């Protein structure tokens, strides 16, 4: 805000404006001092856009030394939904007034998603329509009926026809045992009558996830995810969505099947390894489940080299296949020597999802001759079903 001036020698001074919101029918009173007893060709009142997009000279309804009454034009509010007033007398210009914001009614508003279930983390919402203005304003999430406020927030994106924001799942209202859901509203903090949209907040279903067939906390294709319930509560089978949270945003959707009082889904073979959030879609409603699950693919050996010779200490061994993991992580090669002993340690020279290389360190000791061995790849608690065979000396 520019420096406030005082004294007639220093030009006009604005002290306050009322009201600070309105439309083209709103008469705005700009109060202050040293405006002059009446308007002259050398005096004027100007409305400046808050975003610096431009300004508009106005025709006052009343002008006195301490008060000016003025209305904003329709096109002024359309172009500059918020701004401030200045008064100019001769070559002297007043300080900026407090900000005035358009109170034009929102029109054709639509919020997505409009139906939700309890969620963890943050969920993205968008509001389309018109008349929002260009200045971000604090919003409130509240109960539709009694206006109980749950929390306030300011959207990250605010345009005249589009608003985008996220809601924090930990701040959403909780359900009592009797309520089947709640009707929520998003409105302006400073004007609760200006509503951006309504959200149906659905009480969670009674389905409980039961994960079967996992090994050491990991899942692989063929595992079944079972959601138990007392009865089939839906007309159509819901959709399961696995959302990959690490390492990418990949997701996979499938249809649940109803059997023996439970919804069931078998993890297919084409899902990449990673950490997944389990989400069930009941029509347009989403319900998240905890905990997240880690899916791994069973490591598979295709071939290895040099497989046509007896290995000696210092030889480099390369195993080719897939599902080894992009980095070594919890992976290693199990080498079974004659008598089922394990060779440790192994010095890996490289490890990728399709290829592993390491240096052969085993020697035959005192007896000499060639001896057989097997190699299997072990990743995240799962050992490959295929194995590589060879000899060493």
CATH of the domain at 75: 2.60.40.10
State whether 57 and 82 are in the same domain.
Answer: yes
Number of domains comprising the chain: 4
State whether 232 and 252 are in the same domain.
Answer: yes
CB 196 within 8 A of CB 109: yes
Residues of the domain holding 319: 300-392
Query: Average pLDDT by consecutive 10-residue portion of the chain (393 residues)?
Result: 45 92 84 93 91 86 95 75 90 91 72 82 88 83 80 90 90 67 81 81 64 65 72 60 76 77 79 82 71 81 89 89 80 75 71 89 58 84 82 82
SS (HEC) of 241-288: EEEEEECCCCEEEEECEEECCEEEEECCCCCCCEEEEEEEEECCEEEE
Count of CB atoms situated within 10 Å of the CB of 239 = 16
Establish if 41 belongs to a structural domain.
yes
At residue 96, the 3 state secondary structure works out as: coil
Instruction: Give residue for tokens 């390491």.
Output: 358
Establish if 258 belongs to a structural domain.
yes
Predicted local confidence at residue 214, as pLDDT: 59
Establish if 177 belongs to a structural domain.
yes
Predicted local confidence at residue 283, as pLDDT: 65
d(CA 371, CA 382): 27
**All residues at 6 or more sequence positions from 8 whose CB lies less than 8 Å from its CB, including other chains:** 34
CB 143 within 8 A of CB 182: yes
State whether 111 and 195 are in the same domain.
Answer: yes
State whether 281 and 364 are in the same domain.
Answer: no
Predicted local confidence at residue 287, as pLDDT: 74
Predicted local confidence at residue 206, as pLDDT: 56
Listed residues 181, 202, 223: the one ending a domain: 202
Report field, pTM of the whole predicted structure over 0.95: no
State whether 87 and 126 are in the same domain.
Answer: no
State whether 221 and 250 are in the same domain.
Answer: yes
State whether 169 and 191 are in the same domain.
Answer: yes
> Sign (positive/negative) of CA torsion 79, 81, 84, 86?
positive
Predicted local confidence at residue 150, as pLDDT: 86
């Amino acid at each position: 805000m520019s420096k406030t001036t005082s004294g007639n020698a220093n030009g006009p001074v604005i002290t306050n404006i009322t009201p600070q919101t309105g439309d083209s029918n709103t008469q705005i009173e700009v109060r202050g001092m040293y405006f002059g007893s009446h308007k002259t060709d050398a005096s004027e009142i100007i409305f400046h856009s808050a975003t610096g997009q431009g300004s508009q000279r106005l025709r006052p309804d009343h002008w006195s030394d301490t008060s000016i009454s003025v209305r904003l034009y329709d096109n002024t509010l359309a172009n500059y939904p918020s701004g401030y007033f200045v008064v100019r007398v001769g070559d002297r210009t007043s300080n900026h007034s407090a900000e005035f914001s358009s109170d034009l009614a929102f029109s054709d508003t639509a919020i997505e998603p409009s139906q939700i279930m309890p969620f963890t983390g943050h969920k993205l919402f968008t509001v389309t329509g018109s008349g929002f203005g260009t200045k971000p304003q604090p919003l409130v999430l509240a109960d539709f009926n009694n206006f109980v406020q749950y929390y306030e927030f300011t959207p990250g994106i605010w345009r005249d026809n589009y608003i985008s924001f996220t809601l924090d799942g930990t701040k959403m209202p909780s359900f009592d045992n009797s309520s089947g859901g709640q009707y929520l509203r998003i409105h302006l903090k400073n004007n609760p009558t200006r509503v951006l949209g309504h959200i149906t907040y659905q009480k969670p279903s009674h389905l409980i996830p039961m994960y079967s067939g996992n090994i050491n906390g990991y899942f692989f294709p063929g595992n079944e995810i079972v959601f138990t319930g007392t009865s089939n509560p839906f007309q159509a089978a819901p959709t399961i969505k696995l959302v990959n949270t690490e390492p990418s945003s990949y997701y996979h959707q499938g249809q649940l099947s109803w059997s023996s009082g439970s919804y069931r889904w078998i993890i297919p073979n084409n899902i990449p390894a990673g950490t997944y959030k389990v989400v069930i879609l009941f029509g347009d409603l989403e319900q998240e489940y905890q905990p997240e699950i880690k899916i791994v693919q069973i490591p598979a050996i295709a071939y290895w080299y040099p497989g046509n010779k007896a290995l000696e200490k210092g030889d480099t061994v390369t195993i080719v296949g897939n599902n080894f993991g992009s980095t070594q992580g919890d992976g290693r090669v199990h080498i079974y020597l004659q008598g089922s002993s394990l060779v440790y340690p192994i010095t890996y020279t490289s490890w990728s999802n399709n290829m592993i290389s390491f240096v052969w360190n085993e020697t035959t000791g005192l007896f000499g001759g060639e001896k057989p061995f097997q190699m299997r790849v072990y990743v995240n608690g799962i050992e490959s079903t295929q194995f590589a065979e060879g000899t060493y000396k």
